[in-house]
Amino acid sequence: MEKLTEKEISPLPSLDVWEDDVLSRYPEPGTAKAKEEFRVYNDAEDNPVREFYRLNHTYQTYGNVLAKKANFLQFDKMEMPWWSAMEYLNTLVDESDPDISLDQLQHLLQTSEAIRADGHPDWFVLTGFIHDLGKVLCLFGEPQWNVVGDSFPVGCKFSDKIVYPEFFAANPDSTDERYNTKYGVYTHQCGLDNVHMSWGHDEYLYHITKDYLPEEALYMIRYHSFYSQHREKAYDHLLNAHDQEMFKWVDKFNPYDLYSKSPKPPVVSELKPYYEDLIAKYLPATVKL
| DSSP SS3 for 63 | helix
What's the confidence (pLDDT) of residue 96?
38
∠ at Cα 91 (89, 95), nearest 5°? 130
Give residue limits of the domains in the chain.
6-288
What DSSP string describes 10-36? --SSSTHHHHHHHHHHSPPTT----GG
Rounded to whole angstroms, the Cα distance separating 121 from 115 reads: 9
pTM of the model: 0.92
At 219-258, the pLDDT tens digits run 999 999 999 999 999 999 999 999 999 999 999 999 999 8
- Quote the pLDDT of residue 98: 39
Low-confidence ranges of the chain (pLDDT < 70): 1-2, 30-46, 93-101
Listed residue (174, 160, 177) closest to 185, CA to CA: 177
pLDDT of res. 206: 98
134 and 204 Cβ atoms separated by less than 8 Å: yes
Question: Given this model, what pLDDT does residue 39 score?
Answer: 46
Find the angle CA(237)-CA(243)-CA(248) to the nearest 5 degrees. 115
Residue 153 DSSP symbol? B
Burial class (CB in 10 A: 0-12, 13-18, 19+), 55: buried
